[in-house]
Amino acid sequence: MVCETGPMAEIDEQPPAPVVGGAPREIAEGVHVVPDLRVPLVPNVGLVEGRDRLLVVDTGMGPGNGARVRAFADELADGRELVLTLTHFHPEHGFGAQAFRDATIVYNAAQLEELHEKGQAYVGMFRTFGEAVAEQLEGVELVDPDETYAGDSHELDLGGRIAELRTWGLAHTRGDQVVWLPEESILFAGDLVEERCFPIFPYFPPDDADVDGERWLRVLEQLEALEPEIVVPGHGDVGDSSLIATVREFITLLRDETRARSAAGVGVEEAVAQLDEELRALHPDWVQPEWIAFGVRHFHDRA
Ligand SMILES: [Zn+2]
């Protein structure tokens, strides 16, 4: 239905409620993705079967989404033990963890510290994003893990299948973590890699400036070096390693164009205005162009 005028036009412009609406799709034997269906504030969720345990990667936002993901996990696990890990602390990825309190929950140390420091503030911030978001956050509880790991990796033996949790520290957040299945060559990348979505720079100084575009580029190089055959982005369609290259090329361009303007004495507001227009035009089919401005401010402040 197309409504160009009248009240329906306004209703149509409202984003859909951030609800996990997909069902698990098997992308390789025993490896499933609950697709985000390109709904804002819904992540791609991973479900990885081993002989003994089933690993869940991200939960969606709030108790309702967490329960939905839990139901998928229970059905696939069929009595096997559940393990939950999160790609990073952001609400739409991990704030459904309360549905997994009886599972084994594993975060990296930086992610837990970031959750403790910022979790409640992010609940407050996300509640301002509209009624549909606030509704999903109703009754949300932040959940500590059963296990944390220090260092840059942690191996989970699921029974006949290894899942490697890997972190390179600060990039999109302080504690970004990917899940790498070396045998199957599958990478769950979290928000380090999006598909047809402008990279998310959560640069909100002075409250939260823990994003580092330069380090992010180095991390993307590390992810490319894994040569994954299948890449599950934080948001958007599942693809191959070209997804990583596309993000790396975009962030490189964003950095270089911002630095060039800064060096030429172009102020931050003017640089934002110019690059917002230019980069939107470069990728007219990408969503969330509002993140361009945050990325420009980030690189301009560091130029
Ligand atoms: Zn994120």
The model's pLDDT over 116-162, given as tens digits with 9 standing for 90+, comes to 999 999 999 999 999 999 999 999 999 999 999 999 999 999 999 99
Cα of 17 vs centre of ligand 1, distance in Å, is: 18
> How high does pLDDT run on average in the chain?
95
Cα of 254 vs centre of ligand 1, distance in Å, is: 19
CA dist., res. 88 & res. 90, Å (int) = 6
pTM, full prediction: 0.94
Cα of 1 vs centre of ligand 1, distance in Å, is: 32
Confidence band of 13 (pLDDT split at 50, 70, 90): low
Question: Percentage of residues in the chain with pLDDT exceeding 70?
Answer: 96
Cα of 7 vs centre of ligand 1, distance in Å, is: 33
User: For position 262, what pLDDT does the model report?
Assistant: 98
CA dist., res. 32 & res. 262, Å (int) = 45
Cα of 66 vs centre of ligand 1, distance in Å, is: 17
Cα of 47 vs centre of ligand 1, distance in Å, is: 19
CA dist., res. 164 & res. 244, Å (int) = 18
Cα of 187 vs centre of ligand 1, distance in Å, is: 16
User: For position 14, what pLDDT does the model report?
Assistant: 76
Residue 265's CB: how many other CB atoms inside 10 A?
Answer: 7
Cα of 172 vs centre of ligand 1, distance in Å, is: 7
Mean pLDDT computed over 229-243: 98
Confidence band of 5 (pLDDT split at 50, 70, 90): very low
User: For position 12, what pLDDT does the model report?
Assistant: 55
Phi first, then psi: give them for residue 65, nearest 5 degrees: -65, -40
Confidence band of 284 (pLDDT split at 50, 70, 90): very high
Cα of 94 vs centre of ligand 1, distance in Å, is: 10
Measured in whole angstroms, the distance separating CA 260 from the mean position of its chain's CA atoms is 29
Cα of 184 vs centre of ligand 1, distance in Å, is: 25
